[in-house]
Structure 1
Amino acid sequence: MHLRFRVFAEQLLVASNIVILFLLIFENKLVIPAWLQTVGRMHPLILHFPIVILLIAMLLEFFRFKPEYATNQFYRNFLQNMLLVGALFAAITVVMGLFLSREEGYSGDVLNYHKWTGAGIFFFASFIYFVRNTTWYKAPVAKAGAFVTVVALVMTGHYGAALTHGSNFIWEPIDSQKTMAAVPLEQAVVFTNVIRPILEQKCTSCHNPDKLKGQLNMADAASLLKGGKSGKLFVAGNPEVSLLLKRVHLPMEDKKHMPPTGKAQLTLQEIALLTLWVKKNADFKKKLTELPATDSLRIVATAYLKPVEQEIAYNFDAADEETVAKLNTDYRTILPLARESPALAVNIYNSATYDVKQLNELETIKKQVISLNLNKMPVKDADLKSITEFENLRRLDLNFTDVTANGLKTLASLKHLQNLTLSGTKVDFNDMKALLPELKPLKTVAVWDTKLTATDVQNLQNANKNIEIIGGFKDDGKNPLKLNPPQVKNSSTIFARSLNLELRHPIKNVDIRYTTDGSEPDSIKSPLFDKMLVTKSGTIKAKAYKEGWYGSDLATFDFFKSAYNPDSVNLLAPLNRVHQAEGAKTFFDHKLGVIGANNPAWANNWAGVRDNDMAFISEFKKPILISSLGVHYMVEEDTGIFPPESIEIWGGENAQSLKLLTKFKAGMPKKGDRPSLQTVEWTFKPQSVSYLKIIAKPLSKIPEWHRSKGNKALLLVDEMFLN
């Protein structure tokens, strides 16, 4: 290297030490503009240069004082230039890394280790460069310095890999081959032993306390419930609108697809498990054996945990994986019954899209299908002919279908059918008495919630000793089941004058007990629900009870009176880009939103504003006498969704002569409050109006205790009630 360039490079190295030291001291005050963020993101590209150059330089430095090298001028010059270039590249890499670390999603101990070992390498390499020609710098010092630098390079690389690929990236292929059933099936907890291992293998490398991509941590249950920047990770009981499943099902080329391209992807079995777990209300404590034996989650999770049993030998080969993948759709999943097994289990969902073609399309894998789940599908007797094509079928679920005994006789041709479920069908005692002798391989048949009485079931059992007749839940004190919460049967709980409120439960002969005073209903003193005529806004709390079952969780239903609907509504200020809902019609369409709408996928019923007022004017062709306004809104303080700061109501005979009728405020949440849907209602002196102007102002400054303190809050409203 020319002397003039070397002097310049050395001056640049000194300046780099000063700049990097300054950046490290004042790191917390750094605000990185967009163009510098682009520079920071080149950190992974540049970092390989100093690693390679410094490794070579330190290897040469280690042997520098050997007699044959000590007097070699080329060796000495080459080594000095390599060390100088390596230190300068290390400086560039450290600066880029500091810029990158200021972006969202990077935090935690691993980041600190990576940052300080990286910066330490740069400072140490600079130190060696400037002292290597002093009189005290001898062979032992050179060897020790080279060794320390190489060890630090390895450690820095390890921490960097942990940030980008996860702490278990190197050993993941080996770990994934280990037997999953480290716990007996009887002790397995669905989340702990099935769901969490999937997330750890496929998700937590980017979503952990050390790398919070999208501000999302998936390392523990509390963090999963909290969600991230885009909102809640899932809606318990509703996988269709859960962000977790939406991202998984995006096309691979979509930048929001998860896991991202290049990372290990979720298998069809893993996707099915996540979907079924969310559908089962995403319970974090439920044991696998607490689920019904016929439950889809239990069946798939058992297959996931339990290796294929050696004593089961199928006389057919495994189906082609690409063929199976193509046959999987949004409403039909095909999964291996167990790991390394050629046997397949088919589940068909969504009764609205069901067609017998969904069965006929499985012609190419008909030998491999040994389990078929058609629960709650509109299956007819004619469809059973297609089912008999699955010659190796061992399990068939026809619960709550439209099949009859005449059609079921067709199943006699299935020589391996061992388990049949007919719960909720129209079969009676005479039907089953004639049918069971025809189904000779059968070992179990479920007939609960049919026309069969307990006596009928016992008589059938006595006549068919080789078949277990499952007539319903038996309260033997060992495995009591928990009822689902009651549900509202009404299409909407918003009404103009009165509402015949109806509650229902999917299981027959369940007692629904309720309260309207805010207390929690019990199984004895609280009144039984039949029907209720509602004439004013209020809340009902309900629980389901049945002898031999655990009572359900509490269900809370709000109902709202809204006597007037405007003939026209016009926005006076725009809604934000994400929360457009139905525009001006949103406020009076009788559609209520759900929690977790700080996400484009869940914004269908929410109108939102942040940078301007939520303002509109409504017209009534005939004057109305109005004395109250109710506003239904969401509160999710953690993601910056706050109640309105104030609400103004203006009214008059025409749009040009409106006067202020009232102005009121909503209560503000406290730090750590759970997300909720709330209503603020205000009454005022009755006024006759033909025009109403309503202005809801978003919170102008988020409180000091919030991480977004001082910023404007997001206001989300889905409905308003005029009375």
Structure 2
Amino acid sequence: MHLRFRVFAEQLLVVSNIFILFLLLFESKLVIPAWLQTIGRMHPLILHFPIVILLLAMLLEFFRFKPEYATNLFYRNFLQNLLLIGALFAAVTVIMGLFLSREEGYSGDTLLFHKWTGAGIFFFASIIYWVRNTNWYKAPLAKTGALLTVVALVITGHYGAALTHGNNFIWEPISSGMQITAVPLDQALIYANVIQPIFEQKCTSCHNPDKLKGELILTNPESIMKGGKSGKLLVPGNPKMSLLLQRVHLPIEVKKHMPPTGKAQLTLQEISILTLWVKGRADFKKKLTDLPATDSLRIIASAFLQPATQEEEYDFPAVDDEKVAELNSDYRTILPLARESPALAVNIYNSAAYSVKQLDELSEIKKQVISINLNKMPVKDADIKSITQFENLNKLDLNFTDVTAAGLKELASLKHLQNLTLSGTKLNFNDLKGLLPSLKSLKTVAVWETKLSAEEVVQLQKANRNLAIIGGFKDDGKNPLKLNPPQVKNNSTIFGQSLALELKHPIKGVDIRFTMDGTEPDSIKSPLFDHKTVLTKSETIKAKAYKNGWYGSDLVTFDFFKSTFNPDSVNLLAPLNRVHQAEGAKTFFDHKLGVIGANNPAWANNWAGVRDNDMAFISEFKKPVTISSLGIHYMVEEDTGIFPPELVEIWGGDNAGNLKLLTKFKAALPSKGDKPSLKTVEGKFKPQSVSYIKIVAKPLSKIPEWHRNKGKNALLLVDEMFLN
């Protein structure tokens, strides 16, 4: 490393030590703005650099005083530079981690240990760097320091993994096979042996005393009943009003769905167990055998505990690993059901690529396949014959397929089929009434989102007492919930000549009522959204969702903007604010709208801003266009000094050097205390054919007297302009 750069890096290391010490001492007083939160969230990305570099540096430091290395100039210089770089990367990682730790959901002893061991590694590496060339620093100290640093790195990594993935993340592959001890059914407790393991596997990695997402802890009964930031988690006896089940049943793409996208999802069996447990008043002490023998929770939970009470043995040999690898493809995976088990599970993906051949090609392993997942594949009745070749099949997922009762009767030949899922199929009560008695080995069948009513599920359960029929979370109109608002399905709310309006709702059977005249829609008189509305001009859509047995949703407003013309080129005539560059000149016609709030992480990506000069640019059209209006979309946040434009001028003509003023207009100023908002102001003029237009938007030169920044220049933020 060049001497000048090394001196600079060493000075940076000193500054980093002081800055990190300051952050640690005054951490409780830190308020992290959104843009720093974004930097903090890069902590998991950058942390691998100091780990690798410091591990390598400490390995070299351990052997540094060996005679063959002690006099090697390259070895000494390389090691010193490596240690310096590792310490600096560690500083960056610690700073990012401290920013990240200030976000909601991080607390407890694990965070404390991770924070101080991480900071300790940085301070310790810095000390080693500064003292390693002193006379008293000898081989024993070098080896001890290197070993301590490596141990600290391992400990810190352990605590970091516990924060992200849960306390048992590292040992889970080993302990998962031991954590469910064989519990006789007559001794099994519903909560301790059934409910708690579900929480531990799917929920507690984010909801524990050390990682308190939503201020919710799911590790003990007291905390479960207390709930979290969003309120009570359970309403004993009423699953529909229980936040736990509401969040579980949200569509997976919805932000509040739990577990979140990317985490292991609850199975149908687990959801049913939780629903039935809450319906039975969420008892934490009751035994499984305290429930009637025909109780749905007892039947399903008994099946759930089955792996803990006996280990399945198979009388067929394992398939060669090379054969399994050969049969795997982009849209078909074949995996062992468990470690060292000959049983195989088959998963088939991508409905567009599905063919029954994907099943027929598995004839060589038909004895070993005991689980097949065909969820959302276009499976027909004719394909069932190919499924019946798997003579040891135990579990079959046919959710959202095209099978009928006629085809499913073929499954009667499968003597080991115990679990069948038929959710989302077109089966009705009569279909299942005739089908289920023929599937003699079946123990559970899922029929969510079929044509069956709750009463029909009960009838089927009574007629098939040895079979657990999972009917799901039914909308029976009792204890109504409030619908969430409708959503826009269109990719963008900015359009050219026309746009077919598309609204959607994640719950089936919902009526969406909307208006375009500024009034609030009601459930009777307002137009019913029917996918036939076409927008031909800018409109404000107000919408609400309604459904029998539910409370209507809150009002939601969508602004659609017509923007007929996009310039072929845009060039700034004055610089944008250094902080609010967005996409530069492209910002004004990129069809990307910003969001309210100077502290929103998405803010800087879409907003172009000026304060000390005009927002001015010139645009060219390669072919002349006839325009008659310009709309400007801007942010108002008076509390932070973000105001509308004081004046907007539009110039146009056929020659960039000879433009005439087409119009000028102003925007209304906010009043003191107005809520932050997004506004549009439009200037209209006589239709004009132009090849060039120049737009000048002047920021407010003097903030009003009632404002704390009175008399100063206001900030003008614009994300889009609309030419028509």
Give the letter for the 2:315 counterpart.
N
Distance 2:548 2:527 in 1: 14
Deviation at 1:406, TM superposition (A): 2.4
2:638 is aligned with 1:626? no
Q: Residue 63 of structure 2 aligns with which residue?
A: 52
State whether residues 202 and 264 of structure 2, in contact with CA within 8 Å, keep that contact through their aligned partners in structure 1: no
Q: CA RMSD of the aligned region, Å?
A: 6.7
Contact 2:161 2:170 in 1 (8 A): no
Matched, 1:293 2:296: no
Residue of structure 2 equivalent to 1:689:
688
1:155 aligned onto 2:148: yes
User: Per the alignment, do residues 631 and 160 of structure 1 end up closer, same or farther by CA in structure 2, a change over 3 Å counting?
Assistant: same
Q: Could you tell me how far apart the structure 1 residues matched to 2:367 and 2:482 are?
A: 37
2:315 alignment partner in structure 1:
315
Letter in 2 for 1:154: L
Distance 1:27 1:469, change over 3 A: closer
Q: How far apart are the structure 1 equivalents of 2:554 and 2:361?
A: 43
Q: 1:528-554: CA deviations, max 9, x gaps? A: 88327577532546457664x8x8997
Counterpart AA for 2:381: D
Q: 2:569 aligns to what?
A: 571
Closer, same or farther: CA 407–375 of 1 in aligned 2, 3 Å: same
> What SS does structure 2 have at the residue aligned with 1:688?
strand
The residue type paired with residue 540 of structure 2 is G
In the alignment, what sits opposite 2:539? 537
Deviations 1:483-528 (A, max 9, x none): 887554667655678877554446544465789999999xx98988
CA contact (8 A) 2:427 2:451 kept: yes
Assess if the C-alpha contact under 8 Å between 1:571 and 1:616 holds in 2: yes
Q: After superposition, what is the alpha-carbon deviation per residue over 1:307-330, rounded to whole angstroms, capped at 9, x for unaligned?
A: 776343333345555655665566
3-state SS of 1:367 partner = coil
Instruction: Within 5 Å, give how 1:23-102 maps onto structure 2.
Output: 25-26=14-15, 47-54=58-65, 94-98=83-87, 100-101=89-90
Aligned to 1:440: 440
Instruction: Please give the residue correspondences for 1:368-383 in structure 2 after superposition, counting only pairs within 5 Å.
Output: 368-383=368-383
1:399 aligned counterpart, secondary structure: coil
**Larger deviation, residues 338-347 vs 482-491:** 482-491
CA distance change for structure 1 residues 303 and 615 in 2, over 3 Å: closer, same or farther?
farther
Contact conserved, 1:84 with 1:129, CA < 8 A, in 2? no
Contact (CA 8 Å) 1:53, 1:85: kept in 2 or not?
no
SS in 2 for 1:113: helix
Aligned 1:295-694 pairs, distance under 5 A: 310-320=310-320, 324=324, 331-334=331-334, 337=337, 341-452=341-452, 457=457, 460-461=460-461, 463-471=463-471, 473-474=473-474, 486-488=486-488, 493-494=493-494, 501=501, 503-505=503-505, 507-510=507-510, 530-531=528-529, 536-538=538-540, 540=542, 542=544, 547=549, 558-562=558-562, 565-566=564-565, 569-572=567-570, 587=589, 616-618=619-621, 623-630=626-633, 650-656=650-656, 657-659=658-660, 661=663, 680-691=679-690, 693=693
Confirm whether residue 113 of structure 1 aligns to residue 106 of structure 2: no
Which residue does the alignment assign to 2:195? Answer: 186
Contact 2:10 2:84 in 1 (8 A): no
Asked if the contact 1:381/1:406 (under 8 Å) is kept, the reply is: yes
- Return 5+ residue gaps in structure 1 as ranges: 1-16, 31-37, 58-77, 131-144, 201-217, 223-275, 596-601, 700-712
Instruction: Supply the distance in 1 between the matched residues of 2:489 and 2:468 (Cα, whole angstroms).
Output: 36
State the Cα distance separating 1:403 from its structure 2 match: 1.9
Corresponding residue for 2:29?
none
Give me the whole-angstrom Cα distance separating, in 2, the residues matched to 1:667 and 1:360.
Answer: 71
Secondary structure at the residue paired with 1:411? helix
Q: CA-to-partner distance for each residue in 1:362-398, whole Å, 9 max, x for gaps?
A: 4454334333333333222222222222222223232
CA spacing shift, 1:520–1:538, aligned 2, 3 Å: closer
Aligned 8 A contact 2:633 2:679 in 1: yes
Q: 1:486–1:503: 8 Å Cα contact kept in structure 2?
A: yes
Change (3 A) 1:184 1:647: farther
CA–CA distance in 2 between the matches of 1:646 and 1:362?
72
Q: CA deviation at 1:356?
A: 2.6
Structure 2 runs not aligned, ≥5 long: 1-5, 20-48, 98-115, 163-167, 181-191, 215-249, 275-301, 573-580, 597-601, 700-714
Letter of the aligned partner of 1:686 in structure 2?
Answer: F
Equivalent AA in structure 2 for residue 400 of structure 1:
F
Query: Tell me, what secondary structure is at the counterpart of 1:186?
Result: helix
8 A Cα contact 2:518 2:540, kept in partner: no
SS of residue in 2 equivalent to 1:682: strand
Letter matched to residue 155 of structure 1: L
- 1:337 deviates by 4.7
**What do the CA deviations read for 1:395-449 (whole angstroms, capped 9, x no partner)?**
3232332222322222222222223333443334443344334322233434454
Aligned to 1:251: none
Is this contact kept in 2: 1:649–1:695, CA < 8 A?
yes
Distance 2:645 2:91 in 1: 32
Contact 2:594 2:606 in 1 (8 A): no
In 2, Cα distance between the equivalents of 1:617 and 1:147? 73
Length-normalised TM-score, structure 1: 0.54
- Counterparts in 2 of 1:339 and 1:504: CA distance versus 1, 3 Å: farther
